[in-house]
Amino acid sequence: MSVAGTGQLRAQEIGLPKYKLPKDTVDHEIAGQVDVNDVYHAAFQKFKKKAPRNKKSGSLALLPTIGYTPSTGFAFGADVSGTRYLGDPENTTLSVFDAFATVSTNELALVQLTHNVYTKGNKWNIQGVYNLGKTIVLDHGLGTGKKTPEIPIRYKFMKLSEYVYRSLLPNFYAGAGITFNYYGDIDEELDGSDGIKTYNYHYSMKNSYPPHSYYANGLLINLQYNTRDQPYRPYKGLYVDLILRANQKWLGSEKGAVQLKTELRKYWGLSRKNPEQVLAYWLWGSYLLNGSVPYLELPGTGSDVNQRIGRAYTISRFKGPSFFYNEMEYRFPITRNKLLSGVAFFNMETASNQADVKLFNYWEPGAGAGLRILFDKHTRSNLCIDYGIGNYGAKGVFVGLNEVF
């Protein structure tokens, strides 16, 4: 499961293609819209807007971050982001370098370094994500279809990934990467406790993993197709991503494994007058084809990059060797100036275990609604505040920046 994304409000999103619309199209699209910046300047007009920066120059920004999910609690931190064009801005996407740190009320501490570099003309794209921290997960074991006792699991982690992508055809990219994931100090505070053993301990004993620390290192091959009109808040388009991951013992993994990961996002515009009225569909799956992976690497709720799979449930609520998730969301404007919008969503997830539960045997639903506040009308960046409910009394508020998918 991923622990890199924790629902904080951040200004960066890693993505492959460049999204650029003609100026007249952009001006027409945002005409009459009001965002948080407009509200701020209207309330404090004595503060003058800064002159626009030369588009060929870089920038450096320090931003506070806040967030909340039932898993992390309230999170507070800081984000240092630098940007620069490494080629002509007319045909080269802005490169981003980012350093991020956060702590939360639910024992999460994270330091994250990322880079997303585009060479001249977008011929090559190089991405890296480096995470170091500690966290606690409210764990319920493997599979779907039954209520299980909740046993917290604490651990430290280090996750390092590097990817290289090449543009092959319009909207189509191919890439390869390498990842090193380490989990340590797992459940160590329970050593010597009478009868208290976590699901991680039982799984590790059954599959011959050391229970308190292990590695999951592997190679990745990626194919991606993307026609979305915009990465943060698409109004139309299709996104498909296929990743084949092979954990290798010669790279330090405890065991070898082959996983196929699939993702599809589809957006249908429902109104020419209000393009913000959108029907969106999200499919995410991870399938174990061969071997086995350590417990904390099993896919499940919150396993996407930003940990937003499964609104209504806590991170890792459902998981298994194979996991499948899909969600439908209706998005609509509330105010005429588009400052406020709303969503209604419904999702379902299913996971296997190592015994009698197979993938697709049992589904766990989640549903809810949310409010959107437009942060920046030029980038469509918005603040998301959602409330979701699910099975077994699951419910909670989820706060983040930009749409869930």
- Which of 71-85, 100-114, 382-396 is predicted with the least confidence, judged by mean pLDDT? 71-85
Instruction: Find residue 286's DSSP bridge partners.
Output: 261, 323
Cβ(2)–Cβ(307) under 8 Å? yes
> For position 402, what pLDDT does the model report?
84
Angle, vertex CA 379, rays to CA 383 and CA 368, nearest 5: 30
Q: Is the dihedral of CA 252, 245, 257, 209 positive or negative?
A: positive
H/E stretch holding 43: helix 36-43
> For position 10, what pLDDT does the model report?
42
Q: Which of 229, 287, 285, 239 is nearest to 264 (CA)?
A: 239
Percentage with pLDDT > 90 across the chain: 54
Q: Which of 292, 290, 171 is nearest to 226 (CA)?
A: 171
pTM score:
0.85
The domain ranges of the chain are 23-401
Average pLDDT, the chain: 85
The contacts of residue 297 (CB under 8 Å, 6+ apart) are: 1, 181, 216
> For position 77, what pLDDT does the model report?
85
> For position 14, what pLDDT does the model report?
40
Residues 17-39 pLDDT 10s: 444 444 444 556 677 788 777 77
Residues 48-72 pLDDT 10s: 555 444 545 567 777 777 777 788 7
Q: What is the token pair recorded at 227?
A: 């026609």
Q: How far is CA 178 from its chain centroid?
A: 19
Instruction: Find residue 344's DSSP bridge partners.
Output: 330, 369
Secondary structure class of 369 (helix, strand, coil): strand
CA distance 252 to 217: 6
Q: Does domain 23-401 have CATH number 1.10.10.10?
A: no
Secondary structure class of 365 (helix, strand, coil): strand
Q: Three-class SS string for 183-223? A: EECCCHHHCCCCCCCCHHHHHHHHCCCCCCCEEEEEEEEEE
Residues 165-224 pLDDT 10s: 898 988 888 999 999 999 999 987 665 556 678 899 999 999 999 999 999 999 999 998
> For position 21, what pLDDT does the model report?
47
